[in-house]
Amino acid sequence: MKQIWYYILVAMAKGPCHGAEIRRRVRELSGEAIEVYPAMLYGSLDELLSEGWIEELENEGGGRRRNYGLSGLGRERLAEETARIENVVAAANRALGSIS
Amino acid sequence: MIFFKILVRLFPENFRERYGEEMAEMFADIRRERGRWGALWFYPVAARDIVLEATRTRLRTPKTEKNNVWQFVHDLKSDLIFALRGLFKNSGFATVAIVTIAVGIGANAAVFSVVNGVLVKPLPYPESERLVMIFNRWTNLGVHRNAQNPGDFFDYRERTDAFESIEAIGSAYNQTLTGLGTSARVTTTSATDGLFDLLGARPALGRLFEEQDDHTRAVISHGFWQDFFGGDPDAVGRTFELNGQATVVIGVLENSFRLHVPAHMAWPQNISVWVPIRQFLGNAGNYDRTAHWMTTVARLKEGVTLATAQNQMDRVAAWQRENFAVRRDRAAEIEVVGMHAEIVSATRPTILALFGAVALVLLIASANVANLLIARSQSRKSEMAVRAALGGSRMRIFRQVMTESAVVASLGGLVGIGLTYIGVRFISAFVPADMPFVGNLHVDGSVLIFLLTVSAATVFLFGLAPAITASRANVGELMDSRGAGASGLQRKGAGGAIVVGEIALSVVLLIGGGLLVRSYLQVGKVNVGYEPDNILTFVAGEPPSLYQGTNAEKKEKKQAYLEMVKARILTIPGVLSVGTIWPTPLSGASDGSSTYTDNELAGDEQTQNASSQLITPGYFATMGIPVLEGRTLGLNDGGDKLVVDRNMAEKMWPGENPIGKRLKIGWWSGPVWGDVVGVVENVRTSSVTADDAETVYRKAVEYAYSPSTFVVRTEGDPAAMADIVRSTVQSIDVAAAIEQMRPLSAYVDEQMAPLRFVMTLITVFAFLATLLAAIGLYAVLSFVVGARKREMGIRIACGARPEQIVRLVLKQGVLVALLGTGAGAVLAIGLIRFLQSYLYGLQPSDPITMGVVVVLVGTVTVLATLSPAIRASRFDPVTSLKME
């Protein structure tokens, strides 16, 4: 999974949000390390929508912005990816431990 | 934001629509966060972001499209198989549809071959689009497209710079050829040295004109070289005589070279001998400005428009009016016209009218097939509805029906290719011989491309409506409609409207065809003022022995010769009388008109134009032209005795006795006076349909060089007398060259050729159209009757008699026909003005034609309606009700 996708999915895991909010959360999550530019963000959202990992939600606030949330499939994928990363991190820690 | 607005266009449209606004907002947010200096850094980064992402998005889309392509191919294959299977199963429908479309396409492609060959193909000269022709216009005399005098030609050369070159051709005339073992009449003309170069002509042998050549040097055509030199490779340098003038061959033109000129110049088809024009032009600085006998052809400089050239010529014309009184009197102008446009100008409206007419046939054919397809899709409605219910998308169903149409159109186009060849043959048989570029009439690449395009267009023309109808099918409607009853009635509306349109279009063609047939019959009955049957005509070139001596001697010899030939011909059994005339009546050749006045001091504007005819005694008697007053010209009359026709007498001396009046004739060698000795009835000698022109008859022998056409009245078929007349003339002098020996009726026939051409084609189209419309009416009524089987059954069960049922169906057919005829008649009156020039003595609203068309359409309607009507009256109520 692409890094940016992972960040977006994590950002949405907290609850549905719109594009600008996703950007804010991703920056926060990454400790300001990742700047999400508009084209990259909306391109990714479009792809995630067509993969069926996220879905567009009814706009409760009535504003112009579209809200997005994780779909069931998206939640599964996020869990899988998180588990994979955990494995990688654990393996890395083990490897680092054995060296030191 | 302009920065963003431009870049965001890199995204596909649907992406922009969906996310564009929010992206723009975020873009603005980030820029604000960065502050003024940060924003500077931000722009390149944001640009990179957009470009990369847009590319990714664009690349992502084809991936799905690729799948679509495969899906499409797969669907297409199954659609095709399905369509072919369906057509095969339903071979009756398939045959009717394919033949109908093939007829429409074939007829259109055949007519297109004429459009292409005559109007589209450029002239066979290099860069011919820059070639123009230049004419004089005498605005005050209403004369257009007049020839030039040598002075004009040099004015053009000296006073304009829009042209790369300006060249001229002299007039074309026949001369007697001798000195090559045989004697013949050949067509000759003169030209400036640069003409051949202008038209891209090259010599096959020898060379073309150069500055040192005078009129004793000649370039000959390839045909002349073959006919008279047997293709001798040493022909260059050999000598022959033209009207007694020794002429040396300096070159032979390529076989492919033809000089094309507009029909209004009335030129012979092929020029055999060309001589340099130089010594006919007069002396430099003192060029002749009286006789107009030259035609100018020029090539525009690269990038110069016709309008610029016209502007310059307008200035030349203004200068000429300032300097020459004649030009002022005539309000002379100069006309610059594209050469190709000018050559085809007379034919263009005809060809376009035919093209329009044949397009109507295709429209009717397509409407018919559309009707058939709708009827078929109606009977397959349940199939379509079930498919839709099972998840077949509308698009899929739409496509499937369109595929079927495409298959019909393709097969129709294929059969249409064959019909095109037949059509071109048919057209060639009727095409008038004097139509420009008739040689170009064949099926070539452009015609096939046209055929392909039209076939493809018909898919939409007839396929769209059925495909839309079919894709709208749904199960609900199917259930509601309880069988075909309701939907049948519903669709009667659409089908009926289509048939009304078909009938209207065929009525347009029928009225057009009817008017042309009536015109043709009228023209055939025109009283030309003489009896053209049983007259043999031929042009006799005088033997070279007549060309020696002084002018007076030549005249005497010529008169003696003509009278001797006439006397000999009279001895042939079966010959009733003989005379001579020039030019040949109805041949299109013209000696031009001259101006006449009876006032010694009259200026140009007070003269009367009249056609000049040169005759010898016996002409009026042979032609059967009544002498109204006075006498005809006798053997002893000279050029100072004139006979005028009734028109001329009434114009010049209304209410007075013309006998004994004097006329001044503007002749090229200076004015000549003559006495009127007789008045004859008006006759039509220039054209069968043109109004009688004022005519003055003079004695032929006064003008030693002008040829004479013999008119011989025979007891029986004049063509059968041709051989004996020829041998009789040549028994006097074997060197007498005889040409154009044919019955006078052949010229009448030739005059009718253009009208016959248009009439035949339009009539054929009209009958095709009517046949197709009748098939359409029959098909729709059959369908409606079938769909109303239940209703009919109930009516019969309730006691309706068969004739009442027949009347019911007939009423529908007649209503459709009435509406169509009415609409067609209105349309026709609007459209028939395109044929106006062919209508002779008729109005477009000619009641007889209208009446015949109404009766014809009525009859065809009843015939097409009767069979479905009778079928309906025979429905058995029990079975038709059981169907439900």
**Average predicted confidence (pLDDT) for chain B:** 84
State how far the Cα of B495 lies from the Cα of B477, in Å rounded to an integer: 19
DSSP B735: T
- Shared domain for B194 and B295, answered yes or no, is yes
**Where residue B485 falls among pLDDT bands split at 50, 70, 90?**
very low
B718 plus B597 within the same structural domain:
yes
- Class of residue B382 by CB neighbours under 10 A (exposed 0-12, middle 13-18, buried 19+): middle
CB contact under 8 A, A20 and B26: yes
Select the residue of B15, B29, B45 nearest A20 (Cβ to Cβ).
B29
B39 interaction partners in chain A (CB closer than 8 Å): none
The CA-atom distances, in angstroms, between B715 and each of B535, B596, B721 are 9, 38, 10
| B518 and B623 housed in the same domain | no
Where in the sequence is the domain holding B171, given as residue range(s)? 129-310+327-344
Please report whether residue B99 resides in a domain.
no
Residue B721 shares a structural domain with residue B778: no
Question: Is the CATH code 1.10.10.10 the one for domain A3-99?
Answer: yes
Residue to test with chain A: of B15, B25, B53, B57, most A Cβ within 10 A: B53
Q: Considering only CB atoms, which chain A residues are within 8 Å of B41?
A: none
Query: Which neighbouring-strand residues pair with A56?
Result: A68
Looking at residue B127, its pLDDT comes to: 92
- Chain B interface, mutation test: which of A21, A37, A41, A45, most B Cβ atoms within 10 Å? A37
Task: Answer yes or no: do B595 and B684 share one domain.
Answer: yes
Q: Which of B18, B27, B52 sits opposite A38 (nearest CB)?
A: B27
How many Å lie between the alpha carbon of B408 and the closest alpha carbon of chain A? 40
Query: B690 and B553, same structural domain?
Result: yes
Q: Which chain B positions have a beta carbon within 8 Å of A17's beta carbon?
A: none
Question: DSSP class of residue B626?
Answer: P
Asked whether the ipTM of the predicted complex exceeds the cut of 0.95, the reply is no
Angle, helix B13-89 to helix A38-51, in steps of 10 degrees: 30
Predicted local distance difference test score (pLDDT) of residue B477: 58
Do B568 and B505 share a domain, yes or no?
A: no
Is B839 a domain residue?
Answer: yes
**B203 lies in the same domain as B296:** yes
CA distance A4 to chain B (A): 13
Nearest C-alpha neighbor of B108 from the set B623, B587, B761: B761
Q: What sign for the dihedral angle of Cα B639, B641, B647, B648?
A: positive
B140-163 pLDDT, tens per residue?
877 888 889 999 999 999 999 999
Looking at the domain assignment, is residue B261 inside a domain?
yes
Beta bridge partners of A69: A55
Crossing angle of helices B381-389/B348-379, nearest 10°? Answer: 70
Nearest CA in chain A to B24: A38
| pLDDT above 80: residue B513 | yes
Instruction: Give tens-digit pLDDT for B525-560.
Output: 888 888 888 999 998 877 767 767 777 788 888 888
B664-699 pLDDT per residue, tens: 876 656 667 889 999 999 988 777 877 777 888 988
* Residue B390 within a domain: no
Mutate to test the interface with B, among A46, A49, A54 (most CBs of B within 10 A): A46
Within a domain: B602? yes
Spell out the long-range contacts of B840-843 with Cβ–Cβ below 8 A and sequence spacing 24 or more: B840/B519, B840/B522, B840/B523, B840/B526, B840/B689, B840/B755, B841/B519, B841/B522, B842/B515, B842/B518, B842/B519, B842/B522
Would you call A21 an interface residue with chain B, using a CB distance cutoff of 8 Å?
Answer: no
Instruction: Please tell me the distance from the alpha carbon of residue B246 to that of residue B242, in angstroms, as a whole number.
Output: 7
Q: Residue A46: its chain B contacts at CB < 8 A?
A: 15, 18-19, 57
Q: What is the mean pLDDT of residues B41-50?
A: 82
Chain A residues whose beta carbon lies within 8 Å of the beta carbon of residue B11: 39
Do the domain assignments include residue B744? no
Which of B5, B34, B41, B49 is the best residue to mutate to test the A interface, defined by the most A CB atoms within 10 Å of its own CB? B49
B26 CB within 8 Å of a chain A CB:
yes
| Residue B584, pLDDT score | 84
pLDDT in tens, B821-875: 889 988 888 877 777 778 888 877 788 888 899 898 888 888 888 888 888 888 8
- Asked whether the beta carbons of B585 and B538 are under 8 A apart, the reply is no
Q: Are residues B649 and B774 in the same domain?
A: no
- A57-79 residues labelled b (16+ CB within 10 A) or e (exposed): eeeeeeeebbbbebbeebbebbe
Q: Are residues B683 and B767 in the same domain?
A: no
A:B CB pairs within 8 Å: 55
Q: Per the structure block, which two tokens stand in for B145?
A: 């497209």
Beta strand pairing call for B282-283 and B286-287: antiparallel
Instruction: Give the angle subtended at the CA of B348 by the CAs of B346 and B350, to the nearest 5°.
Output: 90
Judge if B639 and B677 occupy the same domain: yes
Where does B788-798 have alpha helices with state H?
789-797
Q: Are B577 and B618 in contact (CB under 8 A)?
A: yes
Instruction: Say what the pLDDT of residue B713 is.
Output: 95
Looking at the structure of chain B, the number of domains it has is 4
Beta strands B332-338 and B131-138, pairing class: antiparallel
Q: What is the mean pLDDT of residues B384-403?
A: 76
Using an 8 Å CB-CB cutoff, list chain B residues near A66: 22
Instruction: Indicate whether B629 and B763 sit together in one domain.
Output: no
B734 touches chain A (CB under 8 A): no
List, for residues A77-99, the tens digit of each pLDDT value: 999 999 999 999 999 988 888 76
The larger pLDDT score, comparing residue B60 to residue B583, is at B583
Mapping DSSP onto H, E and C, the string for B415-442 reads: HHHHHHHHHHHHHHHHCCCCCCCHHHCC
- Give the residue-averaged pLDDT of B193-204: 94
Task: Give this prediction's pTM.
Answer: 0.70
Q: Does any CB of chain B come closer than 8 Å to the CB of residue A38?
A: yes
Going by pLDDT thresholds of 50, 70 and 90, the confidence category of residue B489 is: very low
Is the confidence at residue B794, as pLDDT, over 90?
A: no
DSSP string, B120-148: ISPPSSTTGGGEEEEEEEEGGGTEEEE-B
- Cβ–Cβ gap A64/B21 under 8 Å: yes
CA distance B51 to chain A (A): 8
